[in-house]
Amino acid sequence: MIQITAHMRILVATGAVDFRKGIDGLLMLCRKVFEADPFSGTVFVFTNKSRQSLKILVYDGQGFWLCHKRLSQGRFFWPEGNGHKRLLAQQLQMLLWNTNPFHVKVPEHWKQIPTFSAGP
C-alpha cells in the first residue's frame, strides 16, 4: 500500500499522457517532463486526454507502484499547460476524490514542507 504523507514531493504532469504507456514509458516522462529522478520517492501523477483517468507512479525503495483510477462519470480537475505542477499531499487527496484541489483554501501551516537536519 502507498501512503501519501505531507513531506512527500508530488508532481503532476499538466499535459495529457498516452495511457498505453506502462511503468517504463512513464519513467521516461518523469525524466523528460519533470526533469526528476524517478527513483527519488517523488509521487508522479498523470492524466489521459479525456481526464477520466489518472495514474500515479512512485518508487518505494524496492520497486515501482503504478496505480490507476478511472472515474465512472465526470472528469478530474486538472491544471492547464504542458509542463508540471507541484501539489501538497492534501491537494492530491482532494484530486483523488475528484474535488478541485486548486480552488480549496489550505491552511498556511499545511503548506510548510518539513525539513530534516543531517545530524545534531
- Which segments of the chain does DSSP mark as H helices, in order? 23-32, 89-96, 108-111
Amino acid at 31: R
CATH architecture of 10-102: 2-Layer Sandwich (3.30)
How far is the C-alpha of 77 from the C-alpha of 55, rounded, in Å? 14
Res 1: pLDDT:
62
Residues 71-94 have pLDDT tens digits of: 999 999 888 877 899 998 888 988
pLDDT higher than 70, residue 12: yes
| C-alpha span between 41 and 23 (Å, rounded) | 14
- Judge whether residue 49 has pLDDT over 90: yes
Reported as a pLDDT band with limits 50, 70 and 90, residue 57 is very high
Listed by start position, the domains of the chain span 10-102
